[in-house]
């Protein structure tokens, strides 16, 4: 209880100091999605006048709020079920898989996926998030760029899997890959920038 009182008292002092020092409180921004926490140390109002922050006008800064939120959102882990090999045969081999990707495109994705040397679809997501150049070198990145989903394919994958209760394990390889990468904003542009960095 004492700790809570101290926190409330501290906030009150900060508000009072802002008014006394002639500083305007920052506008409250309510994001549409849950964002990652950024660990930073607040600057006491009494020392703001000695820093650049006093002159910065937040209202003059223009940025794409939706783009910012998409890049810093807390992403839920995609539920995936890997297909394991048992006695030379794949598990659930006789199970009919749901498909919505056209046959030609699906074949292209499956061939490209095998060429990456990555066994699990969810591992591609992890490699992209960590930008692991040991797992995905320049040659493999170029191969991946041929099979990543377009914005329309991302939307369709999200729609189909959501209609299936959020379970993507009953879908084909191309469908699972598209769903795994469905929440990456401007994926193609980001991969092109990564490729440029490698070069």
Residue that finishes a domain, picked among 34, 55, 72: 72
Whether 79 is in a domain gets the answer no
DSSP states along the chain: -HHHHHHHHHHHHHHHHHHHTTPPPPPP---SS-B-----PPPPHHHHTTSGGGT--GGG----HHHHHHHHB-PPPPP--PPPEETTEETTTTSPPB--S-HHHHHHHHHHHHHTT---HHHHHHHHHHT-TTTS-HHHHHHHHTTS--HHHHHHHHHHHHHTTT--TTB-HHHHHHHHTTT-TTHHHHHHHHHHHH-
Q: Are residues 37 and 108 in the same domain?
A: no
pLDDT in tens, 121-179: 889 988 888 888 888 899 999 999 999 999 999 999 999 999 998 888 899 999 999 99
Query: Do residues 61 and 107 share a domain?
Result: no
Q: Say if residue 106 is in the same domain as residue 66.
A: no
pTM above 0.75? no
Model pLDDT for residues 76-125, shown as the tens digit of each residue = 655 544 444 444 444 444 457 889 999 999 999 999 999 998 888 889 98
Q: What is the pLDDT of residue 83?
A: 46
Number of domains in the chain: 2
- Over residues 44-87, the pLDDT tens digits come to 777 877 788 777 777 777 777 777 777 777 766 555 444 444 44
What confidence score (pLDDT) does residue 78 get?
52
Instruction: Give the range of the structural domain holding residue 60, as residue numbers without chain letter.
Output: 2-72
């Amino acid at each position: 209880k004492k700790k809570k009182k101290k926190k409330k008292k501290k906030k009150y002092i900060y508000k009072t100091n802002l008014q006394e020092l002639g500083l305007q409180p920052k506008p409250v921004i309510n994001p549409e999605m849950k964002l990652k926490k950024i660990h930073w140390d607040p600057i006491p109002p009494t020392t703001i006048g000695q820093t650049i922050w006093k002159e910065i006008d937040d209202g003059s800064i223009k940025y794409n709020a939706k783009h910012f939120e998409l890049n810093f959102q807390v992403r839920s882990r995609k539920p995936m079920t890997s297909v394991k090999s048992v006695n030379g045969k794949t598990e659930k081999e006789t199970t009919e898989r749901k498909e919505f990707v056209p046959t030609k495109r699906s074949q292209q994705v499956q061939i490209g996926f095998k060429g990456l040397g990555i066994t699990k679809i969810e591992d591609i997501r992890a490699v992209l998030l960590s930008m692991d150049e040991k797992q995905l070198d320049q040659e493999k990145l170029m191969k991946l760029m041929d099979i990543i989903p377009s914005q329309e394919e991302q939307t369709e994958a999200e729609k189909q899997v959501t209609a299936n209760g959020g379970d993507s394990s009953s879908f084909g390889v191309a469908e699972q890959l598209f769903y795994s990468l469905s929440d990456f904003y401007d994926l193609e542009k980001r991969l092109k920038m990564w490729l440029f960095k490698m070069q």
